[in-house]
Structure 1
Amino acid sequence: MSKRLYLILAIVLSVINSKPVFSQAINDHIFAASAAAKPFIDFDSKGFLVNGKRTFIVSAGLEYARVPHRLWYDRLLRIKRAGFNCIEIYTIWNFHEAQEGKFDFTGDRDLGAFLDITNKLGLYAIVRVGPYYCAEWDSGGYPIWLKFKPGLRVREHNAPFEKYVDRFFDHLLPIVFKKQINKGGPVILVQLENEHNNGWGTVTPDAYFKHLQTKALDMGLQVPYFFSGLHHASDPAINGNFNDPKRPNPWFSTEFWSVWYSQYGAKAGDDSLYDRRTWKIIANGGNGYNYYMAHGGTNFGYTNNDEDAASYDYGAAIGQAGDIRPIYHAFKRAAWFARSFQDVLENSTNDSTTYRNLITDTALKITARKSPDGDIVFIDNPGKKALTAKLQGMDGTLLLAPGEVYPVVHHFNITPYVMLNWAYTRIFAIVKQDKTTTLIADAEPGSPLSLQFLTKGNVTAVTQSWLLKVNGNQVSLTGLAPVSNKPSEYSFKTGDHTIRILVMSRSQTDRTWIADNKGQNYIISGAAYTGDIVIKDKSISITTEQPLTRQVAADTWLYTAKEVILLNKNNSSGIQQPASLALSKWEYKTGAHAAGKIANTTGWLKTKLPLQMGADGDITADAWYRTTLNIPTTGKYTLQVKGGGRAQAYIDGKQIAMWQLSAGEITLHLKKGRHKLAVFTAHDGRDKLAAYVGPLNNVDRKGIYGTVYLKKGGPYLSNINNWYFEKAANRDALKNGPPQFDTVSFKKYKMGADAFNLKQGFGWFTTLIPKPATGASKVTLSFKSVDENATVFVNGQQVKHHEGWNIPFEITISDAAVLKQPIRITLFIENYSNEGGIDQPVSLNTIGNAATVTGWAMQGGPGNLNQTIGWQKLSTQSRTATGPCFYRSAFIANLVAGQTFIWRVDPKNMGHGSIWVNGHNLGRYPEKIAVTGLYIPECWLNKGSNQLVIYDEDGKQPTAVQVIAEPTAGRVEYQLSSEIK
């Protein structure tokens, strides 16, 4: 259900024709701009207007929090070069206020600087201010310290929560609002909240939403805004409802999921799949979209959630290391087309009926958009086979690839004197260049060319070619596209204006870039990528790039408004990246000082019972706990500990157990006497709390917490799996109590299964617990989660009512008479949307009366990796101690200007932990996706010596660790220059 949205997305995304998972009708309206902002950003039901001009919003999702600030410009320029005119970001709360009351908007957190770079590059920005974000990020962006605020409940009208949200917004919103477009900045849209169960678009369902709205408006929000999101899906066009007459604003998708966070790198077919899904939006009347993600980046430090580790590559168009994938070029083609014809697409109506007879093949589908500025007819081949299309009025046929959506332009005014009457050849882009307008046509050699123009005034053919024909006020480019190693050029003039047509193959458009400088547009064709353009006097310098693994000799052509210049022929020098970098001899120091029989706990948090990680203000993934055990007799004991993550137990400095805290208990062999117990805990990321509403204190707790029991014997915990289910007609069935159990009406139920077929429903769930062992004083049933409300009965008597999905609860049975026989447990579950049932394991605890372990001390964090003392040389014989350990080494990086070598630290054969290079935390390992090693941002490397530090929580030795090359992500720069008119 919407509460469990991201638990099912992996399944959704495996289906090509996937539907948005939000099954309820979601409002997709947008609040209008204030009067002050309307001249700069406005909209009507047909499209957006930016600075008074119809504008198709092609947006790229990325998070500045996942990119070092020294790489912001590079990543944003790559986005711009792909034809995007906008970026979309989250302003993640715990990234800016990790420690309570300590706000950080500097360095990698300098949001204002990021928006300034965005603005400098001429990009717009959509800013999603939260306070919840999701984003596969630690706790969905909530600071850990929120867990320890009494009475706090997130994402609802709750005074403690709103108090801290307001304080964060007091620091955040002024930065965002100073950068609104009407104040000279790039911000054109703002999103409040994110993927909430209740409020989307302009729906303001309760006082919480009203509070966010009032706060933002009072602080100066003037651009259009909305709640939660608009049209989130991997294929947003499926249920787009593009022609909704009630919508007062454009159709827009704030999360068009392109690929997924479980993938690293390009996968065959990604480009064609998401190319089709993009063109479906354009063809059906969509007015913009935002790819989530266009560049994924990295979860540095401890920012990952429990589904990720360091890499958040997402299989995106721009890779984690800045490399360009095939899908990038698909996005570029759609972006430049949509922007070239935005006057049509942002002011159009559905006119498919008019053009239904343009083709006769019923296997092809027609959609069309009509506007005062022209029409576009989209021919859709939805099948898995290539098809040819014969269009009325066109010589020859079109070949449509499987899944291709092909645009045909009609009656489009290129200039006041030239109309593109019919463009049967696909248009890549139209570029205004002073008194030249360049039309780039996308046609493979030997395929039909068919462009037909109507003109006003005198027409002169500049290019002499039998393909270009001038007949009065009619100009046509018809025939077969020529074979050429450079774009084929055809030009004609009307008055003092030149229409230039560049015909390119698909591989040539992939290597063609549209760039601007000082108000002038330039076209560069031939380079694998074009970066900065610098013009000084009459000299132009262009930075181009070739992938390290595909260095080829390439002609690069520059098209200005007045001339065509062959810039350079890049003869590859065969630059090779070494496969790895040599590491110096390893050193180590223990990270387990706290395990000893004697340990300095000065400054530790002292409590009667242990508290979950973060209670001491630490934000890392590690924590130590210490206490004293008094053992009356030698023997086997069971230690019951509530917790989350992994744990290692030490008795008097000796490691005696490693286990998953979710198991609930471990068995220890203890000798009579007084002992020091130390428990090291670590986790691999917190839940992102998708759609969660309620208290934070007892959700996804890490470390150990609550009452700790110690009792001789055991084990005492077991899972209850033998459940049965019977559907109830409605909630009124609860009034009569549990029905009599029989196997005719009750059917076997599998834990975690959806009992309600994705619909609202009610039902009885029952199981029989065997008679507890003789002498048991009580038993406790622990429910991790039911979906979504539950009333619990013991032997037919109601004992508890629980509300809320994903919130643990318990019941304890201590009646001696009840404990003398098997116990019937029955739950009445109320499910109000999508799937429901007992969605997580139920455990039975028979420990009964047991000694409580008290007197705890805790300290979070791995310790000080920068401390100079304690390091020793590492050899196979030198380290025999167990437990977490630091290791350090060094390597030499030969940094050369113009060469971007991508390096990764491969923690081969290591356990779990973190890696630092030159003091920068690369994130957590092991990775959870198919990528080898943790990415080292090139801006964090030193020329010469670089320090590598690894903290392995399991204490495994780095004998196989390497710094390895990723040549497929590397690239080489070339500076091309020329004199221009």
Structure 2
Amino acid sequence: MIEQTSLSIHDQENNSNSGVRKSQPELTYDARSFYLNGERIFLNSATIHYFRMPKEDWRDVLMKAKLAGMNCIDTYFAWNVHEPEEGQWSFEGDNDCGAFLDLCAELGMWVIARPGPFICAEWDFGGFPYWLGTKDGVKFRENNETYLHYVHLYFDQIIPIIRKRQLSAGGTVILVQVENEYGYLMDDEAASAHMNTLRDGILERGIDVPLITCVGGAEGTIEGANFWSGADEHYAKLRAKQPDTPKIVTEFWTGWFEHWGGPSAIQKTASLLDRRIMEILRAGYTGISYYMFYGGTNFGGYGGRTLGSSDIFMITSYDYDAPLSEYGRVTPKYAVTKNLSYFVRAFASVLMESENIADEQIQVRHPIGISVRGRQAGQEKVWFVESHKDERETVNITLEEGRTLPVSIHPGQIVPVLDRVLIADQVYLTAGALITGNEEINGELTLFVTADRGQRSVIELELGAKQASDAGDLILKDSTVQVLVEQDATRNAYRFDLFHFQEPGMMRIEANGTSIRFVILDRDTMNRTWRVESSDRQNLRYAIGFDDVDVTASGQVKGMIADPDRTIMLLGDWQDGEQTRTGREFCIQEVETQPESISAADKDRPSVLANAVAPMVPVAPVLSGIPDYSRVTLTAQQRSASGQPMDFSEYGQDFGYLLYECDFDSAENGTTNLILPNIQDTARIMVNGTQQALVRQVGAAAVPIQVFQGQNTLQILVQHMGRLNFSPYLGERKGVAGAVFLGGQTQDIRRDWQMETGTVHLNEVNSLPVGMMLRRNFVLGDMDGAVLTGALSKGIRINGTEIPMPAYRDWFAFQTLDLSSYVKPGVVNTLEMPYSQSPLNRLELITYQNEHQLQDWRMAGTDALLPVSWESFDPAERSASYGQPVWYRWRFAQPVTDECHKVNLMIRLTGMSKGTIHVNGHHLGRYWQIGPQEDYKIPVAWLKEENELLIFDEEGRTPERVRLMLDEMSRYPWVMVGK
């Protein structure tokens, strides 16, 4: 027997002060799973961030998670959202995280709270407020006095909100996470001092539910793993490290983020997601947190910047290719997640009690190209059958006692096969198809049998004796499909051969006195099958056939119908009882209940009602005619106190734009280089009012510019593109920081590296031993400053001296190093670097003369770029671009719709360049027409009867093709299903 352990760490560590605990719900655990009040629970958790959507959307998104079989919500808390300026706390409206937790409780969902203070999340600065980086001597994510001072002030605000809603206080917060992914920075021993400090800070503020960590642990906490693949390896590490704790996936990456100029992140397909979930279940995990279940949007300037190349800045959408889209729509991944969550719910007791079956104990026979692993709880088994074949096949596997089952399986797919699993008193199920339900509905034990359309599946029921003299009996009561039944009298077993049509089928039996019905579905119909449970879990219903489902606050169920000829089946405790109808009949009923949608005379005409689908089709609003526009004259008045450019934080601005401006003299007309040794964002370079370049690859840059004899005015317009959210170098200086120089040179030094056996080019694919030292010579000439930027590896030496890189991690190879104090002007310098990988996308040596530093900088912030006066835009009088920043303004009405539709609005910015979008004072985020994002979400919750749209375009590009659109699913009707 595995000992059950209490998770009240606060009580364990503060026993003398805790006194006698009140009778409250209690969370305990053993090596297999968590227990709530003595009952094992499998954590199906949906990661959803309240700060990535309007408050008005919370209920719909959380309900979609519940309908997908999730029983838990996982959320970060973003410090920079709640304290955007020092001491100015915000917990109202969209930032009311307490209300979000309350809504989770109202919907009957447990919560995993992750307060950070570091959260990563592809969120600006990993959740830290920008002003934290201005504090003298601050060092992030370590026991730094300054850092901890502000962390404790943050904990004083956020932890009480969580404490009041934890399990012992009558809420549903069951787990609280300490920090986040600290193991990526250092091992547990090195991390323990800081992790323990944060752990104690949480405990001291009254948290008594379990503490967890992810990727790296802390004493007295439960560690989980973050991954997409490699479930077995992660499980083995966790089990070796913490043999007595449940194994949970704290972040199961359902998709991935996207960055400006990169490809769409759609590599994690729905079929792969299905496989990865099966790998997790097969390994033995009893908790999965789907990161993300719903991604949402990086509104405002909150999209972050992450590891890799110099310019991996998050796009505005955080769709993440997650099961629920940015617009709250279900996807093929949602269907996978829902179906397998239903499977887990149906057989959680077996999965949570089970242990891995050793390979030498497996007695399942199978053909070549198929492998089988299993888990066993008592006499019950679940086999995971995996295909290594090139095409879908129906293969036979033979279990103990010669029981042979056909299994339909796709290449790379893993199919769970139930083997003598107890489903009723002395009734044991063996199934070669996915079973996605196993519970009583309207007094009948109901199981859903799922397979591909046109495929056969076999299930077997074996009846044990209720009494010594009783053989057990089975009666086939009725069936809406043809079923082939075979009886094996020697085992008192009944074998049912089922066929999966597009139309749902049903078979009813009585086995050992238990009424059982099997609902036989093809996979597409299972995707449209919904388990609807009340928040008090007293009423259970199933709706089959709807493309989407929602449950209102009053308990009314609504369903979306894309095909009115599809069969709709309602099972369970519905107001009007169980029924089977077509979608068209539901639509007719909807029309009949809306007298304004159809005349009384037409209601008596069957032909009218027969063709009725919905009262109307939604229409996207049209932008009002010719927009107003306001050209921005770039000018900076405020002089930098240091004479050098200041970064965003020094200037006192969190996001937006900074304009840098200075004058310089040139002896002649021609081209020279502008050297930016420290630039962390995209920048437009203008000389004498004419744009010269757009800097994209940042860190450091050398930019060719055209100058004129005499005085020139240099302007640099920088858009804040997001701070590093995951890096050992958190807290970079945003914008242009420090000295800027004229002249200088840049060299792409990826080629012509020397090694003992010859020359290697690092912009090509090479297979070299990692760590092999490569060498390259260069000459500074009359330059006395040098910067190396790009994909560097640790151990770089200049003229035999190794350059310190204390925070270096091989997963964050990009770095900028100032070599000025190591190089020697006028002679040959030798650069050595250990080989790490190739091809490299960037490795540049930038050199300059310190005496050519530009002085007397002037600056202006976003306020100086706001529109002052408006003109009427005339497309006939202008070219494709004004060549300078421009604001455009439109008016538009709300989308034309009705109660039968749920619309989503987006804006497409064809023809524009780069800038920001604003609706009714809400900052919708950055845009940049280099992909992969093409459309931008406009939350319907932020709309009024008349709305104002503002677009700031850095180049003043033509707006004629800008248009508002509804998403594809907006056109389908929703109907009332019942209560």
TM-score (norm. length: structure 2): 0.82
SS in structure 1 at match of 2:738: strand
Say yes or no: does 1:825 pair with 2:830.
Answer: yes
Say yes or no: does 1:556 pair with 2:552.
Answer: no
Say yes or no: does 1:584 pair with 2:597.
Answer: no
Alpha-carbon displacement from aligned partner over 1:498-554 (angstroms, at most 9, x marks no partner)? 43332333233222211112412112222222321788xxxx84311224xx55443
Q: What pairs up with 1:787-802 in 2 under 5 angstroms?
A: 787=792, 789-790=794-795, 792-794=797-799, 798=801, 801-802=804-805
Q: What pairs up with 1:441-460 in 2 under 5 angstroms?
A: 441-443=449-451, 447-454=456-463, 456=466
CA contact (8 A) 1:264 1:930 kept: yes
Partner in structure 1 of residue 858 of structure 2: 856
Q: Which has the higher helix share?
A: 2
Alpha-carbon displacement from aligned partner over 1:736-774 (angstroms, at most 9, x marks no partner)? xxxxxxxx467435269899756xx4x6443222361xx
Q: Which moved more, 1:149-158 or 1:390-399?
A: 390-399
Give the distance between the partners of 1:121 and 1:862, measured in 2 at CA: 46
SS in structure 2 at match of 1:412: strand
Give the distance between the partners of 1:174 and 1:506, measured in 2 at CA: 46
SS in structure 2 at match of 1:452: strand
Give the distance between the partners of 1:591 and 1:211, measured in 2 at CA: 53
Give the distance between the partners of 1:30 and 1:951, measured in 2 at CA: 56
State the one-letter code of the partner of 2:920. Answer: N
Q: Which moved more, 1:474-483 or 1:881-890?
A: 474-483
C-alpha deviation, 1:860, in angstroms? 3.9
Structure 1 pair 321–476 and aligned structure 2 pair: CA distance change class (3 A): same
Partner in structure 1 of residue 557 of structure 2: 542
Partner in structure 2 of residue 261 of structure 1: 257
C-alpha deviation, 1:340, in angstroms? 1.6
Say yes or no: does 1:154 pair with 2:137.
Answer: no
State the one-letter code of the partner of 2:843. Answer: P
C-alpha deviation, 1:395, in angstroms? 6.8
C-alpha deviation, 1:953, in angstroms? 1.6
Structure 1 pair 434–557 and aligned structure 2 pair: CA distance change class (3 A): closer
C-alpha deviation, 1:961, in angstroms? 0.9
1:312 pairs, out of 306, 318, 338, with: 318
Say yes or no: does 1:526 pair with 2:545.
Answer: yes
Give the distance between the partners of 1:99 and 1:934, measured in 2 at CA: 27
Structure 1 pair 533–412 and aligned structure 2 pair: CA distance change class (3 A): farther
Q: What pairs up with 1:641-720 in 2 under 5 angstroms?
A: 641-642=676-677, 643-649=679-685, 654-655=689-690, 657-660=692-695, 662-672=700-710, 677-688=714-725, 690=726, 692-694=727-729, 696=731, 699=732, 701-710=733-742, 714=743, 716-720=745-749
Q: Which moved more, 1:854-863 or 1:184-193?
A: 854-863
Q: Which moved more, 1:159-168 or 1:274-283?
A: 159-168
SS in structure 2 at match of 1:707: coil
C-alpha deviation, 1:178, in angstroms? 2.4
C-alpha deviation, 1:307, in angstroms? 3.7
Structure 1 pair 296–658 and aligned structure 2 pair: CA distance change class (3 A): same
C-alpha deviation, 1:909, in angstroms? 0.8
2:363 pairs, out of 349, 354, 357, with: 357
CA RMSD between the two structures: 3.9
Structure 1 pair 884–434 and aligned structure 2 pair: CA distance change class (3 A): same
State the one-letter code of the partner of 1:583. Answer: L
Partner in structure 1 of residue 247 of structure 2: 251
Q: What pairs up with 1:757-906 in 2 under 5 angstroms?
A: 757=769, 761=771, 764-770=773-779, 772=781, 776=782, 778-784=783-789, 787=792, 789-790=794-795, 792-794=797-799, 798=801, 801-805=804-808, 806-812=814-820, 819-820=825-826, 822-827=827-832, 841-860=843-862, 863-864=865-866, 870-876=869-875, 882-892=883-893, 893-906=895-908
CA contact (8 A) 2:658 2:859 kept: no
1:566 pairs, out of 563, 573, 579, with: 579
Partner in structure 2 of residue 388 of structure 1: 395
Partner in structure 2 of residue 510 of structure 1: 527
Partner in structure 2 of residue 282 of structure 1: 281
Tell me, which stretches of 5 or more residues in structure 2 are unaligned? 12-20, 216-223, 305-311, 588-611, 809-813
Partner in structure 2 of residue 912 of structure 1: 914
Alpha-carbon displacement from aligned partner over 1:147-175 (angstroms, at most 9, x marks no partner)? 32222222223222222222222222222
CA contact (8 A) 2:905 2:967 kept: yes
SS in structure 2 at match of 1:389: strand
Partner in structure 1 of residue 593 of structure 2: none
Structure 1 pair 43–917 and aligned structure 2 pair: CA distance change class (3 A): same
CA contact (8 A) 1:155 1:694 kept: no
C-alpha deviation, 1:452, in angstroms? 0.7
Structure 1 pair 676–200 and aligned structure 2 pair: CA distance change class (3 A): closer
Structure 1 pair 913–552 and aligned structure 2 pair: CA distance change class (3 A): farther
C-alpha deviation, 1:73, in angstroms? 0.9
Partner in structure 2 of residue 972 of structure 1: 973
Counting matched residue pairs gives 891
Q: Which has the higher contact order (CA 8 A, sep 6+)?
A: 1
Alpha-carbon displacement from aligned partner over 1:565-617 (angstroms, at most 9, x marks no partner)? 2275332545675785422134444363442xxx665xx86442111123223
Q: What pairs up with 1:617-656 in 2 under 5 angstroms?
A: 617-629=652-664, 639-642=674-677, 643-649=679-685, 654-655=689-690
Q: Which moved more, 1:275-284 or 1:385-394?
A: 385-394
C-alpha deviation, 1:301, in angstroms? 1.4
Give the distance between the partners of 1:265 and 1:545, measured in 2 at CA: 28
CA contact (8 A) 2:384 2:414 kept: yes
SS in structure 1 at match of 2:65: helix
Partner in structure 2 of residue 614 of structure 1: 649
Q: What pairs up with 1:7-406 in 2 under 5 angstroms?
A: 33-35=9-11, 40-197=26-183, 205-229=191-215, 230-242=224-236, 244=239, 247-262=243-258, 270-305=269-304, 306-352=312-358, 356-372=362-378, 374-385=380-391, 386-392=393-399, 394=403, 397-406=406-415
Give the distance between the partners of 2:622 and 2:840, measured in 1 at CA: 53
Structure 1 pair 236–64 and aligned structure 2 pair: CA distance change class (3 A): farther
Give the distance between the partners of 1:203 and 1:44, measured in 2 at CA: 25
Structure 1 pair 757–50 and aligned structure 2 pair: CA distance change class (3 A): farther
Give the distance between the partners of 1:789 and 1:752, measured in 2 at CA: 20
SS in structure 1 at match of 2:557: strand
C-alpha deviation, 1:286, in angstroms? 2.0
State the one-letter code of the partner of 1:97. Answer: E
Tell me, which stretches of 5 or more residues in structure 1 are unaligned? 1-28, 727-743
SS in structure 2 at match of 1:768: strand
Alpha-carbon displacement from aligned partner over 1:92-119 (angstroms, at most 9, x marks no partner)? 2323223233222222222111111222
C-alpha deviation, 1:975, in angstroms? 0.4
TM-score (norm. length: structure 1): 0.82
Q: Which moved more, 1:678-687 or 1:464-473?
A: 464-473
Structure 1 pair 191–971 and aligned structure 2 pair: CA distance change class (3 A): farther
CA contact (8 A) 1:788 1:803 kept: no
CA contact (8 A) 2:504 2:522 kept: no
Q: What pairs up with 1:427-506 in 2 under 5 angstroms?
A: 427-433=435-441, 435-443=443-451, 447-454=456-463, 456=466, 461=475, 463-464=477-478, 476=494, 478-481=496-499, 485-492=503-510, 498-506=515-523
C-alpha deviation, 1:664, in angstroms? 3.0
Partner in structure 2 of residue 952 of structure 1: 953
Structure 1 pair 789–252 and aligned structure 2 pair: CA distance change class (3 A): same
Q: Which moved more, 1:951-960 or 1:464-473?
A: 464-473
State the one-letter code of the partner of 1:178. Answer: K
Q: Which moved more, 1:199-208 or 1:506-515?
A: 199-208
CA contact (8 A) 1:264 1:314 kept: no
Q: Which moved more, 1:886-895 or 1:551-560?
A: 551-560
Give the distance between the partners of 1:931 and 1:969, measured in 2 at CA: 20
Give the distance between the partners of 2:283 and 2:730, measured in 1 at CA: 42
CA contact (8 A) 1:38 1:223 kept: no
Give the distance between the partners of 1:583 and 1:451, measured in 2 at CA: 62
Give the distance between the partners of 2:617 and 2:574, measured in 1 at CA: 39
CA contact (8 A) 1:48 1:54 kept: yes
C-alpha deviation, 1:962, in angstroms? 1.1
Structure 1 pair 859–142 and aligned structure 2 pair: CA distance change class (3 A): same
CA contact (8 A) 1:912 1:926 kept: yes
C-alpha deviation, 1:913, in angstroms? 0.9
State the one-letter code of the partner of 2:503. Answer: N
Structure 1 pair 146–588 and aligned structure 2 pair: CA distance change class (3 A): farther
C-alpha deviation, 1:812, in angstroms? 2.6
